[in-house]
Structure 1
Amino acid sequence: MSRRIWLCADDYGISPGVNRAIRDLIENGRLNATSVMVVGPAIGRDEVNALKAAAKASPRCAIGLHVTLTAPFRPLTMHFRPLEGGLFLSHTAALRRGLIGRLDQELIHIEVMEQLTAFADLFGRAPDFVDGHQHAQLFPGVRTAFVEAVKQAAPDAWVRQCGRDRPLTERLDSPKALVLDLLSTRFRSHAARAELAFNPAFAGAYDFSKQSDFGALMRQFLKGMAEDGVVMCHPGFVDDVLVGLDPLTVQREREYEFLKGEEFLPLLAANEVTLG
């Protein structure tokens, strides 16, 4: 029997072009989850209503909160620290501070709560799941505050861990993914103690700076993916808003083209997985 997995497009709200591509894929049954950046510049009522309409046509589609705690975005709370030029720190700077215990967990908890509240105001309900932009939910100094906030405001939501369900010999091929494996071990412990559900497996991390063959990558991601595992993706159309915010541009269009193309659904079937 086919295993149901989550194919989740991150970053809804980062730009109109990304939003449009994600909605198109949802409407055509090529995605069954997306996570929303409530601090993004393209997350007004019209964009929310359009996403809700697209998801209504695909009832197995989950809509989550993409908690954002890294640059080049601004916090929703007035007194959040540390900042750089009024923006969150870069993900590398935030991770470094977390590793040496220099992140204020109380301020992070307040910010995550504010983003959860903003999601509920926009969608009229709590998110189906909660994850983090640039995997910041896994960082030391962030994960405890993140888990506590989700437990408080959205206890029925599941949270994203980014550890791969693979033998060790297969996990040594990607330094980036291996770091996520290590960070996810502690994150899963925190989530389990809080009695929050989390995905059993994860895939989708790769070097965005390279012109990778996304079809070949997707074949790797789907291989042996567990029931309810998450495959992360970043489809989108490039526009000026996106170019001004994120270095991941052209690769988003490559991801969109593959997911919309003729090879994708047979690939799901060949791996005995389904989005339905």
Structure 2
Amino acid sequence: MSGDEPQRRIRLCADDYGISPGVNRAIRDLIERERINATSVMVVGTAAGRDEVEALKVACARHPHCAIGLHLTLTAPFHPLTLHYRPLDGGLFLPLSKMLRASLSRRLEPEMIFDEVTAQIAAFVERFGRAPEYVDGHQHVQIFPQVRGAFLTAVKTAAPDAWVRQCGRSRHPLTQQFATPKALLLDLLSAGFRRHAARAGIRFNPAFAGAYDFAQSDFAALMQGFLNGLPDGGLIMCHPGFVDEILLALDPLTDQREREYEFLAGDSFGDMLVANRVTLG
């Protein structure tokens, strides 16, 4: 990249704070190193109790550029906060594939989604003493059909100053657009989400990056690809963490979290930000 390129300020958001102590510890360390500037909290997670919340508040107080958001969770293996939430699978939220199919076939009840989103925002407020600065979704559930309308209404009502995450990329050549099926699906679902958010007057990030096939292990190359073409104000999602027994019991994304952490904590990431004229703001 030439030195004439303008400086870009982006959000680098670590998802899943609250899923396990090891993930929490890695995220706090990156906040202290000023290698991320946002993290979203799963209030239904097993490691989102008072001590873990207080530790995050302390880290962010020392680094006030770091935003704290709510990571709305509506998929297994987690439990809803509202007793009447349906549909369930063995008392848990539906697995991701079933949740997506139910939303596409319009078999969800938006009123229950609204109530659950509202309850998770209230839980965040109770623990942090304020509303989330932004709201996104675990496994991108916030952009699903039927979910998005209820989600945006709940955010507008319970956290009116928050912005929300849309998951559509910047424009790329067609060969790149179709190279990652997951990212292409997110592009398609995000188009409707952005229209709903704009009509509701809710702010959202102009572009998104960070989706990839987790079998890919070269996170440095992936990060360079995420930075390419990301506009000022764009957002990159990441999932750093240290693997522990709680994480192993809850989530299949394990070793890759440690690879992400190692890269983000290392010198080469700092050099990459400088070379690409990117600041975390």
Place the TM-score, normalised by the shorter chain, in its bin. over 0.9
Deviations 1:129-188 (A, max 9, x none): 000000000111100000000000111110000000123512111000000000000000
- Check whether the contact 2:35–2:264 (CA below 8 A) recurs between aligned residues: yes
**Alignment of 1:147 onto 2:146:** no
> Could you tell me which of 39, 42, 45 is aligned with 1:40?
45
Q: Which stretches of structure 1, 4 residues or more, deviate above 6 A after TM superposition?
A: none
Deviations 1:225-272 (A, max 9, x none): 111111000000000000000000000000000000110011011111
Quote the Cα distance in structure 1 between the aligned partners of 2:266 and 2:172.
31
1:185-196 matches, within 5 Å, as 185-196=191-202
Q: Give % identity.
A: 67
Aligned to 2:123: 118
* Superposed CA RMSD: 0.8
Quote the Cα distance in structure 2 between the aligned partners of 1:212 and 1:17.
20
> Could you tell me which of 71, 75, 81 is aligned with 2:76?
71
- Check whether the contact 1:99–1:140 (CA below 8 A) recurs between aligned residues: yes
Aligned to 1:200: 206
Deviations 1:75-96 (A, max 9, x none): 0000100000000001110110
**Alignment of 1:214 onto 2:219:** yes
> Could you tell me which of 171, 181, 191 is aligned with 1:166?
171
Read off the aligned partner of 1:215 and give its amino acid letter: A
**Alignment of 1:53 onto 2:58:** yes
How many residues are matched?
275
Secondary structure of the corresponding residue to residue 5 of structure 1: strand
Deviations 1:171-208 (A, max 9, x none): 11100000000000000011001100000000000012
Secondary structure of the corresponding residue to residue 27 of structure 2: helix
* Alpha-carbon distance, 1:212 to partner: 1.9
Read off the aligned partner of 1:180 and give its amino acid letter: L
Secondary structure of the corresponding residue to residue 7 of structure 1: strand
Read off the aligned partner of 1:233 and give its amino acid letter: C
Structure 1 gap ranges (5+): none
- Check whether the contact 1:224–1:271 (CA below 8 A) recurs between aligned residues: no
Aligned to 2:110: 105
**Alignment of 1:175 onto 2:186:** no
Secondary structure of the corresponding residue to residue 267 of structure 2: coil
What TM-score do the two structures reach when normalised by structure 2? 0.97
Aligned to 2:3: none
Read off the aligned partner of 1:158 and give its amino acid letter: W
Aligned to 1:82: 87
